[in-house]
Structure 1
Amino acid sequence: MQLVKRSYAGVMHKIADLGPMERLAEEAQQSDEYGWLRWAASLLAIHDIERMIALGLPWWNVAATRDVAQFLRTRPNARVFEYGAGASTIWLARHAAHVTSVEHHAEWHHRLSREVARFQNIALHHCELDGDAYIGAIDETGAPFDLIVVDGRRRTECLARAIPHLAPGGIILLDDSGRSRYRRAIENCGLKERRHFGRSYCVPYPDFTSILHA
């Protein structure tokens, strides 16, 4: 499956480098964030952090992205914690007062560090995946969070660890929530679920992202 994904991404990148597609990407940057043009451009930016940042998009379900943006507009001083860094980290920094993000992959963390350096409201940390360092990183922050994003590895454990750190009225975003291995954790976590299914950035098929709240 990983080979298929890499091959697909490679094809999309070659198409993205064509002149007409580069113009599409430029036009998409000025289009509706949740519209079809921006979504179409995101298909060519799969696994391309620079293109995704230029488009100003996270790799989530489109409707869930709108849901989170609307929530953050009601909380101008919002604090965010994120498991699994990427283009979403930049998107969150543009919508929230402060973002703490943890990433397990050392090479990806190093690459992303160059991108987040210009954002004073991002704290990006590398945590080893083994043991408790990664899932327990949220325990070291000392503050409740208005939004917690669970979009990295060990998601069921991260979800359980995140809940006590949720601020009153806060929400948790869990991406790829249609996967069977996450369903039991979501259903037993004690939170209510708004489950979004449909267009998702970067992929040509509909996918799930869930918003969990008290």
Structure 2
Amino acid sequence: MNPIAKLIAGGPGRKSRLHSESGQLMPLKELRHLPRVALEFSRSRIFGVRPPVPWWPVAVIPIIEDFLAAKPRDVIEFGSGSSTVWLAKRALTVNSVEDNETWTETTRKRLREYSLSNATVRHAEDKNYYDLGWASGRSFDLAIVDGSWRWRCIESVIPLMKKDSLIYLDNSDADKDRRHYTSPGMSREAQKLLVGYSNAHHSSKIESIHSLISGELHSGEGMLLWIGS
């Protein structure tokens, strides 16, 4: 990607920094977050200081924060990072699964620095990443899907979700599972699973959020599946 195109788009897959990877233009009202996002981006690139919030679309963060504040919540997270510490400060328990061993240790270190004993980071690779045998007998209020094997993770976690729970799929404007698909006809399988569940359960609903991404100077989308009672 040439430098000028990268400056305009912020990376491959976008028409501009205000477009998602699926080609949708961000609602212009979301530009209100630009000063904050620009500051976080600058601090990250210049000083190596990561923002103390999840690297999700900014408009998603207060939705999940309000959900966690309503009552004590048990969280499962696929893909660890800044979000793990942020979640642990707000949830009853956080069970994070990470397939990068170095990042596993980095996140564990950050949890220790904040004395957050209610969160664990499990290192697992390949099929073990989405095998939730370790969670037998447990259930969750919130699932964050932001790592590898996203559609497999959704398949595994849906049976463990409580009533009135929430699944959040980050980067829903992209297809992050391409390298794991086993047949040419597969595409956007994680998104299909969430939409299919919502269509089959009338008490559930899908919500897509398009906003600037915390820690990045471009927009993106996240998909929320609200599981009803």
CA contact (8 A) 2:206 2:226 kept: yes
Could you tell me which residue of structure 1 aligns to residue 53 of structure 2? Answer: 57
Q: Of residues 102, 110, 119 in structure 1, which corresponds to 2:105? A: 110
Structure 1: give runs of 5+ residues left out of the alignment. 10-33
Gaps of 5+ in 2: 12-31, 176-187, 199-203
**How far is the alpha carbon of 1:179 from its aligned partner?**
1.7
Contact 1:80 1:148 in 2 (8 A): yes
Aligned to 1:124: 121
Matching residue of 1:177:
172
Is structure 2 residue 222 aligned with structure 1 residue 209?
yes
My pick for the range that moved more, 180-189 or 91-100, is: 180-189
Question: How far apart in 2 are the matches of 1:177 and 1:195?
Answer: 8
Shift of the 172–179 alpha-carbon distance from structure 1 to 2, 3 Å rule, reads same
Give, in whole Å, the separation in 1 of the partners of 2:38 and 2:217.
9
TM-score, normalised by the number of residues in structure 2? 0.70
Cross-structure match for 1:70: 66
Q: Cα 1:146–1:47, aligned 2, differ >3 Å: closer, same or farther?
A: farther
CA distance in 1, matches of 2:49, 2:97: 21
| Structure 2 equivalent of residue 99 of structure 1 | 94
CA distance in 1, matches of 2:139, 2:43: 33
**Retained in 2: the 8 A contact 1:160–1:189?**
no
Any idea what SS the aligned residue of 2:162 has? strand
**Is 1:156–1:185's contact at 8 Å kept on the other side of the alignment?**
yes
What's the offset of the Cα at 1:43?
1.5
CA 39–103 in structure 1, closer or farther in 2 if over 3 Å, else same: same
Name the amino acid aligned to 2:100: H
1:35 to partner: Cα distance:
4.9
**Residue in structure 1 matched with residue 134 of structure 2 by the alignment:** 140
Superposition deviation, residue 47 in structure 1: 8.7
Partner-residue secondary structure (3-state), 1:40: helix
Tell me the SS of whatever aligns to 1:51: coil
Q: 1:171 to 1:45 in 2, by over 3 A?
A: farther
* Partner residue of 1:188 out of 180, 189, 196: 196
Q: Deviations over 1:1-55 (max 9, x none)?
A: 8xx8xxx89xxxxxxxxxxxxxxxxxxxxxxxx954432232236599x723xx3
Q: Which has the higher helix share?
A: 1
Which one of 145, 148, 153 corresponds to residue 150 of structure 1? Answer: 145
Q: Cα RMSD (Å) of the superposition?
A: 2.5
Paired-residue identity, %: 27
Cα distance per residue 1:160-197 (max 9 Å; x no partner): 11111111101001100112524323322335211100
- Counterpart residue identity of residue 195, structure 2: E
Aligned residues: 178
* TM-score normalized by the length of structure 1: 0.75
